[in-house]
Amino acid sequence: MQVTTWFIAKEDEAEAIESIVTTEEHAPEDWTYLELPLIEMELMALSATLRGTEDITDERTLEDPLIFREEDGLIIARVVEAFIQMLARVKDESIPGLVNAWVERNDREHHSPEELREFLLEMVKFARQAVSRRSPVLSLATF
């Protein structure tokens, strides 16, 4: 299963984050982080939901990779700032409707609506932390 881990970290910390997988010089706990069992297409479906569009392929949630190591099964990229900003602005009362719309845009049935609700709540809280710190979010995806 693919795991996506978000870090409140600057781009010059990408190599240190890479070492979590490659050399274990660092640990996820060295940063504020959030681990999610979501793949990019599920995050793109959430982004489309937040934008109110049907086409989930309209906009990626990640910028170009800072590090791509196929041999180690990892990609590190900055999460698109607009996606983080949209998440940070989600109002608690809109969560149920957003979850229902997100479920409709997901082709995969790996997560129940309840799980997606929990993931969304965690991502909103995390995005708010990143925005308040004025820090980018880096994504480490392992496959």
Quick one: 70 exposed, middle or buried, by C-beta within 10 A (0-12, 13-18, 19+)?
A: exposed
Count other C-beta atoms under 10 Å from residue 3's C-beta: 13
Note the pLDDT of residue 25. 96
**CA nearest neighbour of 61 among 73, 74, 72, 50:** 50
Residue with tokens 């240190």: 16
pLDDT digits (tens, 9 = 90+) for 4-59: 999 999 999 999 999 999 999 999 999 999 999 999 999 999 999 999 998 888 88
Half-sphere exposure of 18 (CA within 13 A, CB side): 18
Predicted TM-score (pTM) of the model is: 0.93
